[in-house]
Amino acid sequence: MKLSSNVLKWSPPRILVSGFALIILLGAILLSMPFASASGQQLPFLDALFTATSATCVTGLVVVDTGTYFSVPGQIVLMCLFQLGGLGFMTMATLIALVLRKRISLRERLLLQEAMNQTSMEGIVRLIRRVLIYSITIELIGAALFSFRFAFDMPLGKALFFGAFHAVSLFNNAGFDIFGEYRSLTLYVSDPIVNVTAMLLIITGGLGFIVMADLMEYRKNRKLSLHSKVVLSMTGTLIAVGTIVIFIFEFSNTKTLGSLDWGGKIMSSFFQSITPRTAGVNTLDYTALRQATVFFTIILMFIGASPGSTGGGIKTTTFTTLIGAVIAMIRGRDDIVLFRYRLGKDRIFKALTITLISLALVIVVTMVLSTTEDQAFIKLLFEATSAFGTVGLSVGVTPELSYVGKIIIAFTMFAGRLGPLTLAYALGPRTEKELYRHPEGKITIG
């Protein structure tokens, strides 16, 4: 009784962290059971824990091949984990409450506000309803398109399962695939149906549910919120710039774009520009990319998707705020103005805090991996950033990680999915409001 009363007093960040940890633990137990593997043998618990963390945190980094190691029941467990992880366990709990016609309490609304990264509780339950409707609809459409295409290459029943698995995986930006031999979507590098469907699922999942709701109601309201304008403009800019840069860097690389025709080159560049936004699937062999492309991909992975989405990273809005701060400073202005709106100082401080904590996490993880793993530095930096951004792209390091390396990468995925700031709030002591302010001082900057 005392334990339950203490839990009720927990802050929303602490409840979210505990909830995700519990889902990961349950997932690890299920994946370590004999029924989950194709051979009937038990997966070592550390590997099961790593895989469950990757699935729940919608990352996609794996230590065993998903398509060949796991049985169909094991793959269904993974589907459930990245559906729960992508939409959030509080969203799924709200769905159950709505189905049972239960009232959503004030505390539950506070949890939903934290889980969806909202600034207000106003309309939060209505937003959750839309999230569920949009998600299920988009996943069904994606599954139908995938199944139609896969039916030409495999039996219908298998095509339907493959279609459903990859639609849920890609919309939730989970990055898992079941084609076997760590091939991801490389078999369909020039296939327009698979490429376009996958890219649309990744983009819609990464835009964030607030933006999706705004777009759905645009015909009625004829306006978009500032948040949606920032997300859409920065997403479009990053995809366009990424496509051009990857096309230039890999154009003559015979192991990647060099062997494709012009249509394949453009489509593959476009796909590889989108997938670092926390999707984790690929149509090119990332172990064959040039170092310049690998480093550029690291930057895209660090930025990540948008707030309130199934993706990770520091988020597009954070990156936009930082760019706005630089421009404002260069122009000698006091305010950051985006689309004729001034950003509050608290938004700027939060963006700086998230970026610095995230950068510190990636640096520390890379340094530690450099001492525990016998791999090139650029590969370890790539894997650490992929884990933090919950991307799931790999240059072949993850399956060869040591025990310590697996634990470190698993923690990084966990921190990246919840957000370093949320994790800090959950693990840190409760802060009290300051009763006084110190006198202002000046230091020299730059």
Question: Global pTM?
Answer: 0.87
CA 243 – CA 236 distance, rounded (Å)? 11
Residue 337 has pLDDT above 70, yes or no: yes
- For 344, the token pair is 């509050």
**Could you tell me what percentage of the chain is helix, strand and coil, using 3-state DSSP and rounding each to the nearest 5?**
65, 0, 35
Q: Is residue 75 part of a domain?
A: yes
pLDDT for 182-236, tens place per residue?
Answer: 888 888 998 999 999 999 999 988 887 778 878 887 777 778 888 889 999 999 9
Which domain does 161 fall in, by range? 9-427
pLDDT for 374-420, tens place per residue?
Answer: 999 999 999 999 999 989 899 989 999 999 999 999 999 988 887 76
Judge contact between 59 and 85, C-beta under 8 A: no
Strand partners for 337: 342
Residue 314 backbone zone (phi > 0: left; psi -120 to 50: alpha; other: beta): alpha
**Residue 267 φ/ψ, nearest 5 degrees:** -65, -40
Percent of the chain residues topping a pLDDT of 90 = 50
Structurally, how many domains does the chain consist of?
1
Q: Is residue 23 part of a domain?
A: yes
pLDDT band for position 434 (cuts 50, 70, 90):
low
Q: Is residue 432 part of a domain?
A: no
Q: Is residue 315 part of a domain?
A: yes
Q: Is residue 81 part of a domain?
A: yes
Q: What is the b/e burial string over 192-205, where b = at least 16 CB atoms within 10 angstroms of the residue's CB?
A: eebbebbbbbbbbb
DSSP string, 383-420: HHHHHHTT----SS-GGG--HHHHHHHHHHHHHHHH-H
pLDDT for 36-85, tens place per residue?
Answer: 999 989 999 999 999 999 999 888 899 999 999 999 999 999 999 988 88
Q: Is residue 369 part of a domain?
A: yes
Q: Is residue 440 part of a domain?
A: no
